[in-house]
Amino acid sequence: MKHRLLPALLLAAVVPAAAQHGHATLSNPYTSPDDVAAGGRIYRSHCAVCHGLQGKGDRGTDLTTGMFRHGANDDDIYKTVSEGIPGTEMPGTFFNGRQLWQIVAYVRSLSAGRAAEQTKGDPSKGLAVYNAKGCGGCHLVNGEGGRMGPDLSRIGERRSLGHLQMSVTKPNENVLPQNWSVRAVTRDGKKINGRRMNEDTFSVQLLDANERLVSLSKADLAQFEIDRNSSMPAYEGQFQGGEFDDLIAYLASLRGPEANQAAE
Ligand code: HEC
Ligand code: HEC
């Protein structure tokens, strides 16, 4: 036991340092349904008075649009809610780390899934853009496509308009922990890269470039690095006319196989 524990402990100390090389910002560690519910309780007692019970805004801004003028990353929203916005009615709060993250999770939930009503594009034209740009080489929609990126079959139900737009134009800005990638080198010199699926103290599971699920024991690794940057290319400036809005409208329309079939 002793000889296995030591390398694992060393790795545990090394990983966060390696992870800091990425420029991506911090994502919310508290996003479970219970966290969202807890955030909602605080929201109703402390925020609804200005932002409205449904988040549609009143004295405060509309929080359902998914667009945040004061920064749209999780840690920007964290800072806004923690420190307030000087010179405006938006007050700072006294909540601690975990509760604040739960509020952020709730604020995010107010705009998740509303992207479809907010887009001005045409989803059927967007499907053509999606195919032309080769998005399906890395993403699954209803079981078709590649697996290097996350499955997009229900992306419209889960994400806000702002998040969808940022994901395509600036993928590095807000990569979710389940989308981090892993670079590992085994003690016998084999290099393995892939998408990080799961990780605990002793092992890490990843999906390699051939879409095989690989489980690595950290004790067998000479090097192990988590990269929080996206392996998705940035598409900023690569669309013409209404193409971008159409593509986003298509993504926003994806709500699972049953709903997607009905729309086609
Ligand atoms: C007294 C009224 C008031 C209360 C209470 C209040 N807000 Fe605000 N909030 C505002 C106003 C006004 C703004 C817009 C400030 C500006 O940019 O002019 C704002 C802005 C924000 C923003 C930034 C929006 C953007 O576009 O970037 C967020 C996020 C936010 N509030 C969340 C909250 C949360 C969460 C709470 C409860 C913990 C809360 N607010 C409580 C009035 C309030
Ligand atoms: C080379 C592979 C690759 C290509 C090509 C690619 N993506 Fe991605 N995409 C990824 C990876 C990996 C992620 C996860 C990391 C991240 O969030 O940026 C991702 C993330 C996303 C997300 C965010 C998913 C979430 O859970 O919020 C969206 C939306 C998206 N891609 C849409 C597209 C669209 C639209 C195109 C075509 C214009 C495209 N992707 C092309 C690999 C790719």
Ligand 2 pocket by Cβ (under 6 Å): 130, 133-135, 137-139, 148-150, 155, 159, 164, 167-168, 171, 175-176, 179, 230-233, 235, 247, 251
**Selection from 143, 145, 147, 140 nearest residue 210 by Cα:** 147
Cβ burial, residue 181 (10 Å; 0-12/13-18/19+): buried
Supply the pTM of this predicted model. Answer: 0.69
Give yes or no for residue 9 having a pLDDT over 50.
Answer: no
Is the CB of 57 inside a 6 Å radius of any atom of ligand 1? no
User: The domain spanning residue 95 has which CATH number?
Assistant: 1.10.760.10
In the chain, the number of structural domains is 2
Kindly state whether residue 106 falls inside one of the protein's structural domains.
Answer: yes
Ligand 1: which of 28, 49, 58, 61 to mutate, judged by most atoms within 8 Å of the beta carbon?
61
Render pLDDT for 141-161 as a digit per residue (tens, 0 to 9): 999 999 888 899 989 888 888
Residues 162 and 244 in one domain: yes
pLDDT of residue 46: 95
Kindly state whether residue 184 falls inside one of the protein's structural domains.
Answer: no
Range of the domain at 163: 116-174+233-263
pLDDT of residue 141: 96
The residue out of 86, 111, 136 marking a domain boundary is 111
Residues 169 and 42 in one domain: no
Residues 47 and 164 in one domain: no
Residues 77 and 163 in one domain: no
Instruction: Give the whole-angstrom CA distance, residue 242 versus residue 245.
Output: 5
Ligand 2 atom 34 nearest Cα: 135
The residue out of 111, 132, 163 marking a domain boundary is 111
Quickly tell me which residue has 């966060």 as its tokens. Answer: 16
Confidence of residue 25 (pLDDT cuts 50, 70, 90): low
Residues 101 and 61 in one domain: yes
Structure tokens of 30? 């508290």
Kindly state whether residue 169 falls inside one of the protein's structural domains.
Answer: yes
Give yes or no for residue 92 having a pLDDT over 70.
Answer: yes
Question: Which are the contacts of 89, defined by CB distance < 8 A and separation ≥ 6?
Answer: 50, 59, 60
Residues 43 and 169 in one domain: no
| Residue 217 vs residues 93, 159, 160, 185, 222: alpha-carbon distances, Å | 43, 34, 37, 11, 11
The residue out of 76, 95, 111 marking a domain boundary is 111
Instruction: Give the whole-angstrom CA distance, residue 242 versus residue 121.
Output: 7
